[in-house]
A and B are shown apart, each in its own frame.
Chain A
């Protein structure tokens, strides 16, 4: 199913309609650039109270007592909420999106630094925060466990003693692929290449922290919760289940969201406490995290200790892959995962390469760290998987003395092999991996660079060329395989065309800055010919949008985008009948061009979509239902598989270990591009996040479980000053099963780029024998690697 690589997008609509392929300016930016967005912290309700949360200063301790009397006596304090009070309402614990339980407010023990211990509700946010200092908690400290190795060692202190059947710190063990076949491949291998590396703990750190305004009306029982949610419908159902509230009385509103990146997928204790407080007090309660609270207590990502092995034959063909993962999950297994896949979609680790055998074993360990493992701008662990395989193939090339690009070309899945069945059970939809790689290598002039590298080495300069030819699996997903807590991972679109030909599109997904209000309008424009600017897109209000599982895992375009295209087509078919009625012709005799129907062979006998919309309400055909609206729930037949090749050129300073990016080329293939400008923006953002991970971003813990990285002084977010210039290009291989051929692009660059940066530095040092430096590649780590290699 290939390929239209290298062709500029074929536009079906003129710019005034602005369908697929037009770089329409983002509608939402009108309010954002004027400071007129409406975020959770902007919500003000009459009589609203403010809540602040007391968090544990220690990583692991028994709670001996909590004395709230002084705090409760402060003028302005309305209530102090503890775990004991929550327990009276059966709300001290809640289920997580991955089927575990999590403490809402600690009753027995605290299990990580930053865990929620008590909350103060007051008339003023500063009073609430100050009163936290008057709550006295007596802790009896326990040993802090800060790595999976410690956690799974014999005799380790049991972290989850709250769980009846839990006798050790293992959160899960999961495997994929065929062990016997893989072991056989390794037995026959001429060479085995091994890589052990740690993908460090990172944080999505969205600009807007998490928060909620809970408004429980004691008279009507109506619960309205404004919250920073990437998945408002799923959250509503969780609230109904946790609190035992009737679901029709719960309305979740996600207003404008200032970045999510997976951080706003989990249900956090703060949301639940604010809601419980509003329920108990009968007034609206607002809770908004500080930056530090966001960084130390909400959804971390990665923290994967990985071992990967590739079996090779003498010709450099890959025979099989073996990987073993130790995942640091933190104190609660709280990230969202499709139920069947405990390690997310890590089994995409076979990557862009064709070989028959693979086996993946993953173990999740509880530790005394904040609950982690959220899909930070990726589809459930695809980032870790892509990093592993792209680092491994680069090292494999060195070990057998092949050029890394030619090694990849030899092993790539070929265009004619699609749909491709991977050894871990995926069915790749379409791709031309070598096409994307050759394009990227052409842009960077790879052959000349390799020659330059030889010259540079002779002069004592360390020049490195790294690449990653990644494949993602996004758009979860088909209902046979993908669900979260049993909720199937479909999504939905509801479209209503108004009498004047304008329209409103309502979606179950939720933008956090991705530009949904523009791109989804463009899909309708493409299919119905209504100008994109005439279409309002509504999301994030569960009373007013159809049910959906939300925006993460690059699923909005693959799933909700498909639903939008299909409902638009359905309405176009109804419009055709109305047009036939207006033109007094047979529907079969009408032709469509974007925006109008005309009688075959008589272009002057036509009606516009706007004429049709008006007639739907004023002059509908007698046999048709009036109006022009409908809803579609889309259950995707398969995932989509965006891919691309990133090439990074670096120079490493051997004296200091510092390195700088000379060039960064990104060739992405995300299928059909709906709005090329927005796609480019998504890619640049992701490349920047990959750069952050590779250069300096990580959150560590000391031996006592103190989280180092609680502010932007320690957790570094790159600015335009540090970020290299990116050179973007594309190939276009449509997804064969998606109605408009789109694959999703929000996460490709975060997934693919870390390995490209790291491979570039490793490539600069490869002749010294360096094969691994753990991220982030801080100058001291690079310097030490050079010293060790030269010394050894």
Chain B
């Protein structure tokens, strides 16, 4: 599953770049993510917890981050196994920062490969919706952190409680919303 996303952060490119190098901070902005160990060499052990309706998955594994300072871009490779739920996940992310006149545009290309129970929700497109919601939440949190006036304030900002039923509902609402948009668009033609 390929997800392409683009968003703008209202901070200068160097500030955003530095924030991206602070892996624990980045993790704080990803709902359900946690870092358990810095293994050195830009390799981190940790977990990502996702709840999808009645299904809860905790992917435990490692991520390797390869930043490229001159081009303000980077590559993240992660993989995790959810043993109790019988799912596996693998993610390859390419990101790139671009100066946008005092703001920064961030381009993300993610290739997510899920296998097992979590990949079996097919037709409804819920997994795609939820991935997009996760990115929205990430951007929102990152904004807040970068806009914080003191480092202490920034440290207190974490990704919202997007776990559990709310995430499922958000995905569902967004999906239903699209359906109605399509419907009205058709009606209006």
Given contacts A130-B84, A656-B186, contact A58 B120 (CB under 8 A): no
- Closest residue of chain A to B85 (Cβ to Cβ) is A133
Given contacts A58-B115, A113-B116, A133-B83, contact A713 B121 (CB under 8 A): yes
Query: Which chain A residues border B117 with CB–CB below 8 Å?
Result: 57, 292, 710
Q: Does B86 contact A (CB under 8 A)?
A: yes
Contact B124 A132 (CB under 8 A): no
Given contacts A133-B85, A134-B83, contact A704 B124 (CB under 8 A): no
Nearest-neighbour CB distance to chain A for B58, whole angstroms, equals 10
B99-140 contact mask (Cβ, 8 Å, vs A): 1 or 0: 000000000000001111101111110000000000000000
Query: Which chain A residues border B84 with CB–CB below 8 Å?
Result: 130, 132-133
Q: Does A417 contact B (CB under 8 A)?
A: no
For the residues of A in contact with B, the DSSP-based class is: loop
A705 to B88, CA, bound (A): 13
Residue in contact with A57 in the complex, picked from B87, B121, B123, CB distance below 8 Å:
B87
A689-728 contact mask (Cβ, 8 Å, vs B): 1 or 0: 0000000000010101111111101100000000000000
A700 to B122, CA, bound (A): 9
Contact B120 A709 (CB under 8 A): yes
A133 to B83, CA, bound (A): 5
Given contacts A113-B115, A655-B186, contact A714 B123 (CB under 8 A): yes
Question: Which A residues between 633 and 672 are near B, CB-CB below 8 angstroms?
Answer: 655-656
Q: Does A296 contact B (CB under 8 A)?
A: yes
Residue in contact with B120 in the complex, picked from A54, A130, A135, A711, CB distance below 8 Å:
A711
Given contacts A57-B86, A133-B83, A136-B83, contact A714 B122 (CB under 8 A): yes
Nearest-neighbour CB distance to chain A for B76, whole angstroms, equals 20
Of the four ranges (under 10, 10 to 19, 20 to 34, 35 or more), the interface on chain A belongs to 20 to 34
Given contacts A57-B115, A134-B83, contact A708 B88 (CB under 8 A): no
Given contacts A133-B83, A655-B186, contact A714 B119 (CB under 8 A): no
Contact A58 B116 (CB under 8 A): yes
Query: Which chain A residues border B114 with CB–CB below 8 Å?
Result: 706
Q: Does A55 contact B (CB under 8 A)?
A: yes
Q: Which of B84, B86, B116, B186 has the most CB of A within 10 A?
A: B86
Contact B115 A706 (CB under 8 A): yes
Query: Which chain B residues border A710 with CB–CB below 8 Å?
Result: 117, 120-121
- Closest residue of chain A to B86 (Cβ to Cβ) is A57
Residue in contact with A709 in the complex, picked from B83, B113, B122, CB distance below 8 Å:
B122
Question: Which A residues between 49 and 69 are near B, CB-CB below 8 angstroms?
Answer: 54-55, 57-59
A136 to B82, CA, bound (A): 10
- Closest residue of chain A to B189 (Cβ to Cβ) is A655
A48 to B138, CA, bound (A): 50
A59 to B114, CA, bound (A): 12
Contact B120 A292 (CB under 8 A): yes
Query: Which chain A residues border B113 with CB–CB below 8 Å?
Result: 704
Residue in contact with A55 in the complex, picked from B83, B86, B121, CB distance below 8 Å:
B86
Question: Which A residues between 359 and 390 are near B, CB-CB below 8 angstroms?
Answer: none
A132 to B117, CA, bound (A): 14
Contact A707 B120 (CB under 8 A): yes
Query: Which chain A residues border B116 with CB–CB below 8 Å?
Result: 57-58, 113, 706
Query: Which chain B residues border A132 with CB–CB below 8 Å?
Result: 84, 86
A133 to B120, CA, bound (A): 18
Query: Which chain B residues border A130 with CB–CB below 8 Å?
Result: 84
Q: Which of A54, A57, A708, A710 has the most CB of B within 10 A?
A: A57
Question: Which B residues between 116 and 168 are near A, CB-CB below 8 angstroms?
Answer: 116-117, 119-124
Q: Which of A113, A706, A709 has the most CB of B within 10 A?
A: A706
A208 to B149, CA, bound (A): 60
Nearest-neighbour CB distance to chain B for A549, whole angstroms, equals 35
Contact A704 B115 (CB under 8 A): yes
Contact A704 B119 (CB under 8 A): yes
- Closest residue of chain B to A707 (Cβ to Cβ) is B120
Contact B85 A708 (CB under 8 A): no
Contact B115 A708 (CB under 8 A): no
A16 to B53, CA, bound (A): 55
Query: Which chain B residues border A133 with CB–CB below 8 Å?
Result: 83-86
Query: Which chain B residues border A707 with CB–CB below 8 Å?
Result: 120
Question: Which B residues between 14 and 46 are near A, CB-CB below 8 angstroms?
Answer: none
Question: Which A residues between 576 and 609 are near B, CB-CB below 8 angstroms?
Answer: none
Contact A708 B123 (CB under 8 A): yes
Question: Which A residues between 127 and 143 are near B, CB-CB below 8 angstroms?
Answer: 130, 132-136
Query: Which chain A residues border B86 with CB–CB below 8 Å?
Result: 54-55, 57, 132-133
- Closest residue of chain A to B120 (Cβ to Cβ) is A710
Nearest-neighbour CB distance to chain B for A774, whole angstroms, equals 16
Contact B186 A714 (CB under 8 A): no
Given contacts A655-B186, A713-B124, A714-B124, contact A706 B119 (CB under 8 A): yes
- Closest residue of chain B to A61 (Cβ to Cβ) is B115
A136 to B60, CA, bound (A): 12
Nearest-neighbour CB distance to chain B for A271, whole angstroms, equals 21
Query: Which chain B residues border A714 with CB–CB below 8 Å?
Result: 120-124
Query: Which chain B residues border A135 with CB–CB below 8 Å?
Result: 83
A656 to B117, CA, bound (A): 32
A58 to B81, CA, bound (A): 12
Contact B122 A57 (CB under 8 A): no
- Closest residue of chain B to A144 (Cβ to Cβ) is B115
Query: Which chain A residues border B85 with CB–CB below 8 Å?
Result: 133
Contact A708 B83 (CB under 8 A): no
Contact A57 B124 (CB under 8 A): no
Query: Which chain B residues border A113 with CB–CB below 8 Å?
Result: 115-116
Query: Which chain B residues border A292 with CB–CB below 8 Å?
Result: 117, 120
Question: Which A residues between 111 and 169 are near B, CB-CB below 8 angstroms?
Answer: 113, 130, 132-136
Nearest-neighbour CB distance to chain A for B53, whole angstroms, equals 9
A113 to B87, CA, bound (A): 11
A59 to B116, CA, bound (A): 9
Nearest-neighbour CB distance to chain A for B40, whole angstroms, equals 24
Nearest-neighbour CB distance to chain A for B83, whole angstroms, equals 5
A135 to B83, CA, bound (A): 8
A360 to B57, CA, bound (A): 48
A359 to B54, CA, bound (A): 51
A556 to B160, CA, bound (A): 61
Query: Which chain B residues border A706 with CB–CB below 8 Å?
Result: 114-116, 119-120
- Closest residue of chain B to A54 (Cβ to Cβ) is B86
Query: Which chain B residues border A709 with CB–CB below 8 Å?
Result: 120, 122
Question: Which A residues between 231 and 268 are near B, CB-CB below 8 angstroms?
Answer: none
Query: Which chain A residues border B124 with CB–CB below 8 Å?
Result: 713-714
A55 to B87, CA, bound (A): 10
A208 to B115, CA, bound (A): 27
A23-59 contact mask (Cβ, 8 Å, vs B): 1 or 0: 0000000000000000000000000000000110111
Nearest-neighbour CB distance to chain B for A634, whole angstroms, equals 45
Nearest-neighbour CB distance to chain B for A289, whole angstroms, equals 14
A296 to B88, CA, bound (A): 17
- Closest residue of chain A to B113 (Cβ to Cβ) is A704
Contact A702 B119 (CB under 8 A): yes
Nearest-neighbour CB distance to chain A for B147, whole angstroms, equals 40
- Closest residue of chain B to A700 (Cβ to Cβ) is B122
Q: Which of B84, B88, B123 has the most CB of A within 10 A?
A: B123
Pairs A–B under 8 Å by Cβ, sample size 28:
A55-B86, A57-B86, A57-B87, A57-B88, A58-B88, A58-B115, A58-B116, A59-B115, A113-B116, A130-B84, A133-B83, A133-B85, A133-B86, A136-B83, A292-B117, A655-B186, A656-B186, A704-B113, A704-B119, A706-B116, A706-B120, A708-B120, A708-B122, A708-B123, A709-B120, A710-B121, A713-B121, A714-B120
Q: Identify 4 new A-B residue pairs, CB closer than 8 A, beyond the known A57-B86, A57-B87.
A: A133-B86, A292-B117, A656-B186, A710-B121
